[in-house]
Homo-oligomer: A and B are copies of this chain.
């Protein structure tokens, strides 16, 4: 059998990296640089039209860190790319041996707050960068986007429907996972149902209707197969004519003791159509039939539909959410914040490049809450400071081994819902939300000042 995904296996993920990670590591190796260093993974700024971040992707990061290895085949390839034998011998025995602190998946977070903090020999910490960024970028971007979509739907169900336009097979799976974490009710992706246990949903396509000579024959055929859970697509030829035929089939089902689940609108003026269809259904005593809407939906369109009182019970949201179409990436970065410079002492590091300044030192994020548990502000502080508030980062890996019991997907989803319920509503508006207060501690501010001065005075410039 011909193969097309056999390379896509965990043992190959060591090579799923930017080439420069390997060249840098080769140079670290040659120059005997094995000292520990700490890297922060964080998101530099909020994407437009998002007022907070919902962190996702940690489970895959930790499983990767625990298992990353190089095979003989990999080493043979790297040899052809100019790496020397001593370095290849080092890679043969490579294991990640560092410590990791991280926010739990489903944490509500804000720009510049470390989401993952990793301390390891610099050569190890560098080697794993690309996979970490790739994983957190996709899942946090989608969880954040989907969370804003779910907010807009005001309690009505949102189903993730974007599989056909998501970026490949891994994206198809991770979008289903991340949007479920964010509060979507389910997905159309059957493999995500099979693997993650996410509820799967689906109706029918226009081609199904068209394959029958008459629209009503298609409705009847489908209802025969799924008498208790049919949602009929009514816009192939004309929505209202389609709705009338759906009513006929619903009445036929009633006679057999079944109930039509719903009708689906996929085009046209959803506000007007949904009102007309709802009226028709009610006139025929079919109040229980749900109206399901799809077609180019996102948080703004859903808000607009509900503002205009569209009679829609559930939303199928596809491409716009599944590709985070208005901003298909987050500014996630992984930056060195300290290195050990001899005698077991760590020195804080920072970068001054224009617009890319970073926060130095090993840090913790503290969240402050009011008497009802609602979030009031965060403070990014140095680890050795005495700070109040609830720390967001927890130890999740020690010497390369996962030290926590990884939460189930349902637990992560519940954690996200709980956290989102504690974020005051004003911070959840996709546009014109006030910035949630994230402060730097006085000690951190002092350190930044001192380091800037030092960097500008010394030979670095």
Copies assembled: 2
**Interface mask (A167-190 → B, CB under 8 Å = 1, otherwise 0):** 111111110000000000000111
Contact A353 B267 (CB under 8 A): yes
User: Which of the residues B4, B13, B24, B235 comes within 8 Å of A5, measured between beta carbons?
Assistant: B13
A335: Cβ under 8 A from any B Cβ: yes
A238: Cβ under 8 A from any B Cβ: yes
User: Which of the residues B164, B356, B460 comes within 8 Å of A18, measured between beta carbons?
Assistant: B164
* Chain B positions within 8 Å of A214 at CB level: 459-460
Contact A238 B460 (CB under 8 A): yes
Q: A18-B188, A59-B4 are in contact. Are A167 and B173 (CB under 8 A)?
A: no
A236: Cβ under 8 A from any B Cβ: yes
Q: A133-B164, A166-B134 are in contact. Are A266 and B23 (CB under 8 A)?
A: no
User: Which of the residues B16, B191, B341 comes within 8 Å of A189, measured between beta carbons?
Assistant: B16
A301: Cβ under 8 A from any B Cβ: no
A200: Cβ under 8 A from any B Cβ: yes
Q: A207-B335, A221-B27, A336-B207 are in contact. Are A10 and B19 (CB under 8 A)?
A: no
* Chain B positions within 8 Å of A96 at CB level: none
Contact B238 A134 (CB under 8 A): no
Question: Measured between C-beta atoms, what is the minimum distance from A461 to chain B in Å?
Answer: 5
Contact A67 B336 (CB under 8 A): no
Question: Measured between C-beta atoms, what is the minimum distance from A257 to chain B in Å?
Answer: 17
Contact B221 A67 (CB under 8 A): no
Q: Roughly how many angstroms separate A2 CA and B273 CA in the complex, as a whole number?
A: 50
**Interface mask (A223-251 → B, CB under 8 Å = 1, otherwise 0):** 01110010000011110010000000000
Q: Roughly how many angstroms separate A157 CA and B241 CA in the complex, as a whole number?
A: 57
User: Which of the residues B134, B202, B325 comes within 8 Å of A163, measured between beta carbons?
Assistant: B134
**Interface mask (A39-69 → B, CB under 8 Å = 1, otherwise 0):** 1000000000000000000011011101100
Contact B4 A203 (CB under 8 A): no
* Chain B positions within 8 Å of A189 at CB level: 16-19
Q: Roughly how many angstroms separate A210 CA and B125 CA in the complex, as a whole number?
A: 14
Stretch touching chain B among A29-37, A99-107, A386-394, A423-431? A29-37
Q: A64-B4, A169-B16, A221-B30 are in contact. Are A235 and B353 (CB under 8 A)?
A: yes
User: Which of the residues B23, B171, B236, B349 comes within 8 Å of A167, measured between beta carbons?
Assistant: B171
A77: Cβ under 8 A from any B Cβ: yes
A339: Cβ under 8 A from any B Cβ: yes
A402: Cβ under 8 A from any B Cβ: yes
Question: Measured between C-beta atoms, what is the minimum distance from A282 to chain B in Å?
Answer: 23
* Chain B positions within 8 Å of A349 at CB level: 210-211
Which B-chain residue is minimally distant from A161 (CB atoms)? B18
Q: Roughly how many angstroms separate A225 CA and B24 CA in the complex, as a whole number?
A: 9
Q: Roughly how many angstroms separate A334 CA and B13 CA in the complex, as a whole number?
A: 33
A204: Cβ under 8 A from any B Cβ: yes
* Chain B positions within 8 Å of A206 at CB level: 335-336, 351, 353
A444: Cβ under 8 A from any B Cβ: no
Contact B1 A67 (CB under 8 A): yes
* Chain B positions within 8 Å of A221 at CB level: 27, 30-31, 33
Contact A319 B329 (CB under 8 A): yes
Q: Roughly how many angstroms separate A188 CA and B285 CA in the complex, as a whole number?
A: 62
* Chain B positions within 8 Å of A226 at CB level: 23, 26-27, 82
Q: Roughly how many angstroms separate A11 CA and B399 CA in the complex, as a whole number?
A: 35
A268: Cβ under 8 A from any B Cβ: yes
Contact A9 B10 (CB under 8 A): no
Contact A18 B190 (CB under 8 A): yes
A137: Cβ under 8 A from any B Cβ: yes
Contact B163 A122 (CB under 8 A): no
Question: Measured between C-beta atoms, what is the minimum distance from A355 to chain B in Å?
Answer: 7
Question: Measured between C-beta atoms, what is the minimum distance from A79 to chain B in Å?
Answer: 12
* Chain B positions within 8 Å of A73 at CB level: 194
* Chain B positions within 8 Å of A129 at CB level: 164, 205
Contact B353 A201 (CB under 8 A): no
Contact A190 B23 (CB under 8 A): no
A–B Cβ pairs within 8 angstroms, 7 of them: A3-B63, A8-B169, A27-B226, A39-B207, A134-B165, A134-B168, A267-B353
- Those 7 A-B pairs whose CB atoms lie nearest each other, nearest first: A19-B202, A20-B202, A168-B170, A167-B167, A133-B164, A4-B63, A207-B336
Question: What would 5 more interface pairs be, CB under 8 Å, given A12-B195, A169-B170, A236-B352?
Answer: A2-B67, A6-B9, A19-B202, A30-B224, A81-B200
